[in-house]
Amino acid sequence: MATNPMQKKARNSMLIGIIIGLLIGCIGIAFFFMQATNYKKQIEEAAANTRKAYALRSDIKSGSNITMSDLVEVSALKDVVPTDYVTMNDITDNTIAKLDLTKGLVLSKSMIHESDAKITADLREQQYNMVILPQYLDIDDYIDIRLTLANGQDYIVVSKKRIKQISEDTVWIDMYEQETLVMTNAIVEAYKMPGAKLYATRYVEPGNQADATPTYVPSSTVINLMNTDPNIIQEARQALASRYANLMPRREQEINGQLNAIDSQDAQSNLESNLEQEITKSKEARKEYLESLNAGM
């Protein structure tokens, strides 16, 4: 049977169209795979050139704790991120800032370190209103509390304490049992001796500055109490015994010498007068606090 030339031409045209369509489809598929491959390569290269690090949500003061809640995860080019950038595993409950840090800063390991402060069973918050405070002192600053005598002798009573709260003349700080006993002894002796005072000095860069070594030695009565106090851990008791053994001769010569030079009745009168003032100030501060709570209700 003879083939109609028109049908043959139409069939050939259709075949050519199918072939061209297949070729175009193959080229499109090949182009798609090439693009997909290039896109995947770009993603891999971008991933290789970026780092997941952590930036600060707000300003952090030197010596302050840094927690994961203070940080936000960011992705940035590896040339921008510090080579020692911080990961999640680098942040613990004891991580503190070594210097003042600003909001948005990508955190690096050189900016932080682990605090030696430990949360032990004897740690308590204490408030003191008899310590002379620096003019510029704020929450999260760190201080030493020192005792100076009328003759110029000066001692560190407790060192590197973080200000948890502050008012005009009162500070709230955390104290271990042995520190509380030593501080109480220093307060009593400061009250007895005319011209003696307790004052605070502020650390400049607490994140980088080590704790000062206390140089004040309490009375032998307080030392004996500390040796038998079950609330003082053995490790601390041993460290105190070593420190006081070396400093006791200075205590006998300087502080005891000052105390012995004061008439016992005058010393008792000074103590009672100063204690009365301290109690009055504490009561007034408590009253103001309660009034502020009632005003806010």
- Tell me if residue 138 falls in helix, strand or coil: coil
- Nearest residue to 117 via CA among 60, 155, 158, 69: 158
Global pTM? Answer: 0.72
227 pLDDT higher than 90? no
- Nearest residue to 186 via CA among 250, 273, 246, 255: 255
User: Exposure pattern of 81-111 as b/e (b: 16+ CB <10 Å)?
Assistant: bbeebbeeebbeeebbbbeebeeeebbbeeb
Domain boundaries along the sequence of the chain:
49-114, 124-295
- Nearest residue to 223 via CA among 204, 200, 247: 247
pLDDT in tens, 19-45: 777 777 777 777 777 776 666 665 555
Lowest model confidence (mean pLDDT) among 34-38, 84-88, 174-178, 268-272: 34-38
pLDDT in tens, 46-70: 556 677 888 899 999 988 889 899 9
| Protein fold of 49-114 | Type Iii Antifreeze Protein Isoform Hplc 12 (3.90.1210)
